Structure 1
Amino acid sequence: MGARRRIEGAATSGRAEDRAGGEIGRRRRAAQEAGGEEYVTKRREVLDAAAVVFQRKGYQAATLHDVARELGSDRATLYYYFAGKQELLRGVVDESVDEMVSGVREIARSDATAREKLRNLADHLMEVYESHFPYPYVFIQENLKATWQEKSEWAERLTARVREVQSQVRGIVEHGIRDGEFRSDIPVELVVNGLFGMVNWSHRWFRPGQQHSGADVGRAFATLLLDGLGEAEHRLKPRD
């Protein structure tokens, strides 16, 4: 169901690029709406190739020819699955961001302590980065500045999801300070930016299958952050 839903969403977002249409555009939309298993599998292969190319060359420098070459196909074949490079980028970004957001929501709403929530959060983010590699890193690496200025429904939804994650993490940190779990002499924004700085910078060196798993990295990051937040807590009083 999830794959079918993503394809239906892509069919809608791709129509703007398809406006001039043509037979291949009509065939693509029909195949997306039908959502057959073979089509879904091949479409995933195209997305995987695009993610590799976007990470290696950068989205702006990458071309559909590069993606086709990575896939071992030709550019014309790509149009049967995606309307263009922009739709490919959306496909690469959306799934991992959705999983990231849903996991952060679940952690924030749990009955765990603020310390436990931050530890679970670091684990979750790195596990998403690992399981969806290299999709999330394309988003981080590109920073997608143009997306934030884009007025499309997709861009607005993506911006809202990113801000929600930031807001949830900020709320956890604030809760920990109020409850006296975290030291109160470090500005909340520095704690939040520090967490995302550690996790996001891993795009420069983390690769699945190497010495440390995503869970290993997440636990290490959480320990570094939480040990720092707990330091000197005996002499710091919680804020009113």
Structure 2
Amino acid sequence: MNVSPLHWLYRGTLNLLFPPQCAGCALSGTVLCSRCMQSIQPLTPPYCPRCLTLLATPEACCRPCTERISALRGLRAVGSYTGVLLASIHALKYQGVIELADPLGKLLAQTYQRHHLQADIVLPVPLHPERQRQRGFNQATLLARACARQLGIPWDERLLIRRRATSSQVGLTASERRANVAAAFSLPSSTRRIRERTILLIDDVSTTGATLEACARPLLDAGAQAVWGLVLAKRNFAHERSRNASRSLSFR
């Protein structure tokens, strides 16, 4: 697990000086208390099984997913990008509270079991090496490791790599997001481990599923039987677009 030694030293010193606090309620002594974990509600159907877009009525898939071939067999999420889940993801990703990976990985494992998924190997969505050096860790790797350990499934952080840096997806349309990450991922070595295997891709957040789709494509091309996506939170794409549009207007 590639976490910078300096980051471990920093976190250890910080925990000695200041006891950890719950990311959800600030309760002292734990990074995520049991009450806050239990408060996280699963997504309420109906939603598209491929991209998790909320649907007005029960349907097989949303229109965009029925109109194009998806590399993902399906996508599942612990919950919505709000409340305790949002706060926990931000604390892990931006504040470096890497201890949150264990309870969040447990939530991923519970979601995997609740949806009766079956996978042979767990892979994290990779960061570009430069981005990982800047952050000190890849949150998806931490989550994949914790989830795989809970489930007793092998995991590997080196089978899939991000071969080119991509710009932020924030503010892009769905088609722009797909173009932004197209061909950004590849398999650097032997593909024997994934041939005829079902792969579980782990990430923290999904908005349109474009990044997970871009990861799944080379895995299928290399002989994987199926690729599922599993994330902590599903972000509302329409809400994000509306909020970004409002921000743009406010600066004019």
Q: Same fold (TM over 0.5)?
A: no
State the TM-score, normalized to the length of structure 2.
Answer: 0.29
More helix by share: 1
Indicate the structure (1 or 2) with the bigger Cα radius of gyration.
1
